[in-house]
Amino acid sequence: MRNLASLSLLIVPALALSSCRNLPEVPGTSVRVLYSEGGMSAKSPVDIVVAPVADESGTNTAPCDMLRSAFADGLVRRRYSPLSLDYVSSALEGQAIAAAEAGTPVPASYSPGTLGEDAVFRASVKGWDTSLWQTERKLGVTIDTWMIDSVDPLSQELWGARYEKTLDMALMQNNYPTESVLMNYCCEVIAAEILDCMPARTPRAGL
């Protein structure tokens, strides 16, 4: 009996240690919420414009179109209704043409409320480090994201967060046929991790 008791005392800690080592990464650990004062739940935006992603990393290598598409898909999963990206891009092109014809400055970014949406989702890439991408499939990423109220004349911030992480795709690269497809997967991971920390929309009657 004493031997069995001693054996059980050895087995239980070993099992506990093994289970701890197998725990997945805690969701949201790479995301630091910068602003969340209940604006999302109070305003309850539905129709969202996903503005073109800005590359402010200084490298001009971030796949902004892939990131923008990933954010739009992620917002759908959070039960929001992003406007067609092509529709928004066409509106921006129209604004640029009109400004050029009028001899006025071309708008630097989408102006909230232009398309009658409830809010604008903006993303700015602050860091996109590919120095270890070719050799180790590691990608250093820093992105700031914001949800802006389009109805408020001051374009109030409803929610904001900073994402900082080094993505390690070494074990995943064989699952994707090309580097472009793998990079698109990275963008999907980034968008999902950010938006998982943003309040999901709670559907209301008639909305």
Q: What is the pLDDT of residues 91-112, one digit of tens each?
A: 888 877 877 778 777 666 788 8
Comparing CA positions, the residue from 94, 106, 88 lying closest to residue 51 is 88
Task: Please give the residue range of the domain that contains residue 74.
Answer: 27-195
Is 9 inside any structural domain?
Answer: no
Is 111 inside any structural domain?
Answer: yes
Parallel, antiparallel or unpaired: strands 138-149 and 157-168: antiparallel
Q: In the chain, how many domains are there?
A: 1
Is 206 inside any structural domain?
Answer: no
What's the confidence (pLDDT) of residue 11? 40
How far does CA 12 lie from the centroid of its chain? 40
Alpha-carbon span 161 to 146, nearest angstrom: 7
Is 137 inside any structural domain?
Answer: yes
Answer with the residue of higher pLDDT: 17 or 121: 121
Q: Are 198 and 161 in contact (CB under 8 A)?
A: yes
Is 158 inside any structural domain?
Answer: yes
Q: What is the pLDDT of residues 147-158, one digit of tens each?
A: 999 988 677 889
Cα–Cα separations (whole angstroms), residue 157 to 6, 43, 44, 65, 111: 59, 11, 13, 23, 14
Calculate mean pLDDT across residues 164-179: 94
Helix (H, G, I), strand (E, B) or coil at 168: strand
Q: What's the pTM?
A: 0.81
Q: What is the pLDDT of residues 29-84, one digit of tens each?
A: 789 888 776 788 888 899 999 999 999 999 999 999 999 999 999 999 999 999 99
pLDDT at 25 over 80: no
Is 11 inside any structural domain?
Answer: no
CATH number at residue 151: 3.40.50.10610
Is 127 inside any structural domain?
Answer: yes
Is 172 inside any structural domain?
Answer: yes
